[in-house]
Chain A
Amino acid sequence: MFESLSNRLQDTFDRLGRSGTLNEKDVDAAMREVRMALLEADVSLPIVKDFVKRVKERAVGAEVAKALKPGQMVVKIVHEELIETLGEPGRLNFSGSTKPHVIMLVGLQGSGKTTTAAKLALHLRKEGRQPFMIAADTYRPAAVDQLVTLAKQIGVPYYEEGVSAKPEDIAVRGLKAAKESDAAVVIIDTAGRLQIDDQLMTELEEIKRRTEPAEVLLVADSMTGQEAVNIADGFNKRVGITGLILTKVDGDARGGAAISMRAVTGVPIKYLGTGEKINADSLELFHPDRLADRILGMGDVLTLIEKAEEAFDEAEALKLQKKMMENNFTLQDFLDQLQKMKKMGSITQIMKMVPGMGKIIDQIDEEEIDRRMKRVEAIINSMTPYEREHPKVLNASRKRRIANGSGVEVRDVNDVLKQFREMQKMMKQLRKGRLKIPGLPSIPGLN
């Protein structure tokens, strides 16, 4: 349903042909597409209008770079402008000597505040700071239980008074308890509320006044639609926010709300929530370029490359490349690669970042792939080092031994060998430059 902006513009400019500079008529045609793309990505209309105006000013008369087609040039400008609008990622403010530093989380109902409070606590502890959580939501049924369960789960100290007191009083007493326990950072979880709820917004103002937070972070759902501007503006005007956290980014929403909220408040985006589990991977730093790609539907190529780079040590990659060139890629190398791929995260996660793969991924059974990968690993592990380097020696009896050792059938061993041979074939093609995966150092195809 969503076409990427590059595709849309391709059509527009294919009709126009090539020219040295972008003229007003061409740009106008392109801006219609840009406008649609942004609206489809849920960027709020007033922000879209503003953005399109800025891009147009920059684009008209711009030289089309030698290497680019006019459409690509426009995408480049849009992309750059988008990155600029999204702004630099913000770091948490730990300046000032008053301890502990208070972080207050605010936002609409169900946006992910309580979950994010726990993720943030975990993250801060990893950074070597002593976190502390306060349960100041006395409205939602079992909100206190939820925070306490999460705090216990990650072993972070907390303060709660059930639902018998006023949130602002709980926050103040919690802060005192935190000081006594030598906490460095205090995270206050507040109840979800609408920015038009005057009474509850007054409550937030009161909590803020009495706990003097260093950070008031608006926790917002990345799936939010056009109202993003009103929500962010409403919270900012009443309580004054210092940063944004976008949650549920692990879904497939384009995330245009990020632009709207950032543009209307001017505060930086600090983190992205990327999972419902509380762990090191489910709270990510924000990268403007990646979010820009996502909003424009260009795929998260950079993340993919980066993850691949992390897992593949460069020297090792070179060695591997050499082996491939010399055509002595062995089963041992195959196993090493499988293990490295596991370090990169789940297959579907990786594939999701490849442009255009979104649709295909939905048809992939992650568990099945995982099962198969594990089986391959087990089988290769049951081979002797010699066998791994010289698969040709694998006769029927050796195969039986391997099958028994790894708890599979001989048929499965044959499958792995077949797969391995196919991979060797693919590598040959890669060598000849017929098959190319951009940015990726030699990752074997799993089929």
Chain B
Amino acid sequence: MSIFRSGLAKTRQSFFGRISQILGNTEIDDEIWDDIEAILLQADLGVETTQRVIDDLKNRVRKQGLTSAEQLNTALRESLQDLMQRPPVLNISGRPLSVILVVGVNGSGKTTSIAKLAHRLKLAGRNVLIAAGDTFRAAAIEQLQTWGERVDVPVIAGQPGSDPAAVVYDATEAAKARGHDVLIIDTAGRLHTNYNLMEELAKIKKVSQKIVPDAPHEVLLVLDGTTGQNALQQAQKFREMVDVTGVIVTKLDSTAKGGMVFAVFNDLNLPIHYIGLGEGVNDLVDFQPEIFIKSLFEEN
């Protein structure tokens, strides 16, 4: 909660406060509905999800005979909470070696999130290894290695331009041989529309299975929190190709709200595990629906 708050250190007055003001604690009129709609749309919930929330909220108002702003606040929060749940714990325990594959479009924050996640897991007593599966982008390997040193987690890398699947094979083998219990695989950013690169990802996934048959145990999709409705297409395509199991949303320390994750969660059934709130090693926090929902209504 406190990290989340400081990451979102831009709060002035909460939307709920504003609603009460507008309403003066009396009736619920058209203007208030427009206001709610505007806030949901501007939080990137998208037209469909916004309409869904509003319909649900109107239903509640009618059924429960709500009249005051206070009641409306609570109902709105409930409507949104119905659309978002706490994620399950990561499926990375109970076996000698668990593998986490990290995927996403270019520049979404994969490498940085991996460093943060490795740091968290290490603090939790895990013995982590990272595979530098991005052999394409200029200095991607050096970037990951620098992070590895910073969080004191070893990184297995190949040559720039080499076959990423080969690197992943070597890293999985090394993780097993050296007794690591978590392997996190970084991959090059790729647009979900690029078929060849998406196929390469499927290949990377398969390669790790040669050594750990049920790997990867988690496939985390990293979404840039400033992304709009395209996040849904991304999630859909990555899920089709590599069976994404969950999501990390980055850059929520920005002014963006990340409301597109409602659709990602509801339409695609993908839990949100973590959110990124900055560029430091400690800036990856658990996703908590109540706080996330509250932050939607905080003014920049």
Contacts and interface: CB of A to CB of B under 8 A. Distances in A.
Q: Is the interface of B mostly helix, strand, loop or mixed?
A: loop
Interface string B115-154: 0000000000000000000001111101101110010000
A142 B143 contact: yes
Contacts of B33: none
B218 interface: no
Contacts of B146: 141-142
A34 to B, nearest CB: 12
Interface in A186-235: 194-196, 221, 223-227, 230-231, 234
A366 to B, nearest CB: 5
Contact of A149 (B107, B109, B139): B139
B143 A140 contact: yes
Interface string A111-141: 1101000000000000000000000000111
Given A39-B47, A40-B229, A196-B300, A221 B254 contact: no
B34 to A, nearest CB: 11
Interface stretch (A23-31, A249-257, A327-335, A426-434): A249-257
Contacts of B191: 248, 250-252
Nearest to A1: B232
A357 to B, nearest CB: 12
A84 interface: no
A221 B189 CA distance: 14
Interface in B242-265: 251, 253-257, 260
Contact of A142 (B42, B108, B139): B139
Contacts of A141: 142-143, 146-147, 150
B224 A223 contact: yes
A268 to B, nearest CB: 22
B264 to A, nearest CB: 13
A153 B192 CA distance: 26
B42 A42 contact: no
Contacts of B227: 221, 223-225
A378 interface: no
Given A140-B143, A276-B189, A225 B253 contact: no
A339 interface: no
Interface residues on B, range: 35 or more
Contacts of A44: 42
Contacts of A326: none
Of A147, A230, A367, most buried by chain B (CB within 10 Å of CB) is: A230
A364 B41 CA distance: 34
A40 B46 CA distance: 7
A365 B194 CA distance: 10
A41 B47 CA distance: 10
Given A108-B226, A196-B10, A225-B260, A252 B41 contact: no
B196 interface: yes
A45 interface: yes
B228 interface: yes
Of A40, A109, A196, A257, most buried by chain B (CB within 10 Å of CB) is: A109
Of B224, B230, B260, most buried by chain A (CB within 10 Å of CB) is: B230
A5 interface: no
A153 B44 contact: no
A211 to B, nearest CB: 24
Contacts of A225: 44, 226-229, 256, 260
Contacts of A406: none
A52 B97 CA distance: 56
A280 interface: no
Nearest to A48: B41
A195 B255 CA distance: 9
A145 B138 contact: yes
Interface string B81-124: 00000000000000000000000011111000000000000000
A193 to B, nearest CB: 10
12 contacts: A39-B47, A139-B279, A142-B145, A143-B143, A153-B138, A225-B226, A225-B228, A227-B257, A251-B191, A254-B230, A362-B193, A362-B237
CB-CB nearest 5 A-B residue pairs: A225-B228, A110-B107, A42-B228, A141-B146, A145-B139
Interface of B: 10, 38, 41-44, 46-47, 105-109, 136-140, 142-143, 145-147, 150, 160, 189, 191-196, 199, 224, 226-233, 237, 251, 253-257, 260, 279, 300
Interface of A: 1, 36, 39-42, 44-45, 108-112, 114, 139-143, 145-150, 153, 194-196, 221, 223-227, 230-231, 234, 248, 250-254, 256-257, 276, 348, 352, 362, 364-367
